[in-house]
Amino acid sequence: MSEDVDMEIREREEPMREGSLDLSAQNRVPASIYLDNQATTPTDPRVTEAMLPYFTEKFGNPHSADHAYGWDAEDAVERARAQVAALIGAEPREIVFTSGATESNNLAIKGAARFHKDRKPHVVTCTTEHKCVLESVRRLEREGHRVTFVPVLADGLIDLDALREAVDEETSVVSVMAANNEIGVLQPIDEIAAICREKGAYFHCDAAQAVGKIPLNVRETAIDLLSISGHKIYGPMGIGALFVRRRPRVRLIAEIDGGGQERGLRSGTLPTPLCVGLGEAARIAQAEMEDEQRRVEILTERLHSSLLAVVPGVHLNGHPAQRLSGNLNLSFEAVDAASLLKAVPQLCLSTGSACTSASVETSYVLQALGLDADLAQGSLRFGVGRFNTEAEIDEAVVMLAKAVSKIRDDKQG
């Protein structure tokens, strides 16, 4: 594989040295290669097909209880609720539909903390959580809650000793994600859940990146609250869910006031097509998870090993083994990531979380790992997914190797 890539690099560079490159095609961008599946996934055509009737002939309001259009929509929503529940080992009535993981995280953390503030005014989270979790906790801090941000080790795994020390009898909720959105590290959620149970705190898990990609069971892991995002599992944008445990019962204060839909936890008319799409995406993920995980893992390893073989000075960020298949966060020595992205416009990659990509600052996740500033600035996130092919992986390696070599040569020259 590496010899083939190396040969192709040499073959592509030869015409440029000879001056025979077709200038009319030089600035033409070929079809893009999408490798940003942590930011969002394309909607699976099977999901789109399942949704379409609920935009047209089955357009009823699922809360209209007086006619067939409403009944059909309600049936579709409840079927989707059951599909989402089955994916994580929950009961359908424990699933609350939301607009996405950001809303789910806000509802879980703020709802639990505010309900228990008088008796349990303490909230614990991790320094590498998603922005919406960190900002929710900071909001609670401004409201008078006591908060603790637990650090991670150099490999991105949470410091379990520090977590044990942080959680006390006044802790209402502990929020730690299952899989990190930037570096793909899988946190030890079984151990985290056990600490929470021992101390009598709720365990909230932002599982937006993990659901549908690795087996998760809220019963076996004793998770009290779990957030899901539709567009991370090949479903539509604008829909998500929050698992809220019923036994032992988790108590929340709602964020949205209105008609009391979703057991009073999330008022508002449910978008039937989007609920159907999330349900179908969950069904497909459950049925195909094992095969897809193996396939994505092979492609990811192909990408990683090929880059290591043809590009010197490449470093993997985060734990080398305890990580999500499909996620690679790599730093390139003596290369600025923004410059590298500009040099390969055909490749759809990111320098970090899509939710903070407007910032020019170094990723706070990489800073938390203690990564050297120059390496952090040369970091790219690769997200391999369901619809990527071997040919795309090989082409991406060729493009990156050529671009990195040119950037380094220009610096030296």
The string of DSSP codes covering 168-234 is -TTEEEEE--SB-TTT-BB--HHHHHHHHHHHT-EEEEE-TTTTTTS---TTTTT-SEEEEEGGGTT
| Residue appearing with tokens 């449910």 | 270
pLDDT in tens, 121-147: 999 999 999 999 999 999 999 999 999
Per DSSP (E only), the strands in 299-404 are: 314-316, 327-332, 347-348, 379-383
In the predicted structure, residue 8 carries a pLDDT above the cut 70: no
What pLDDT is stored for residue 360 in this prediction? 53
Chain centroid to Cα 105, Å, comes to: 13
Query: What amino acid is encoded at 328 in this protein?
Result: L
Query: What number of CA atoms fall less than 13 Å from residue 408's CA on the CB side?
Result: 14
In angstroms, the CA 259 to CA 61 distance is: 14
What pLDDT is stored for residue 90 in this prediction? 98
pLDDT in tens, 231-251: 999 999 999 999 999 999 999
Strand partners, 381: 329, 350
Of the candidates 232, 215, 352, the residue with the CA atom closest to the CA atom of residue 288:
215
Per DSSP (E only), the strands in 292-349 are: 314-316, 327-332, 347-348
| Residue 412: band (very low, low, confident or very high) from pLDDT cuts 50, 70, 90 | confident
Going by C-beta distance under 8 Å and a sequence separation of 6 or more, which residues neighbour residue 315? 330, 331, 333, 375
User: Which whole-number Å values give the CA distances from 190 to 150, 167, 170, 194, 210, in the listed order?
Assistant: 17, 16, 21, 6, 14
In the predicted structure, residue 27 carries a pLDDT above the cut 80: no
pLDDT in tens, 247-257: 999 999 999 99
What pLDDT is stored for residue 159 in this prediction? 98
In the predicted structure, residue 353 carries a pLDDT above the cut 90: no
User: Which whole-number Å values give the CA distances from 319 to 35, 128, 279, 413, in the listed order?
Assistant: 20, 14, 32, 35
Query: What number of CA atoms fall less than 13 Å from residue 199's CA on the CB side?
Result: 25
Catalytic residues: 355
What pLDDT is stored for residue 26 in this prediction? 42
| Residue 86: band (very low, low, confident or very high) from pLDDT cuts 50, 70, 90 | very high
Q: 227 with 244: CB under 8 angstroms?
A: no
What pLDDT is stored for residue 31 in this prediction? 74
* Percent of the chain with pLDDT strictly greater than 70: 90
| Residue 7: band (very low, low, confident or very high) from pLDDT cuts 50, 70, 90 | low
The neighbour count for residue 79, using CB atoms within 10 Å, is: 15
pTM of the model: 0.91
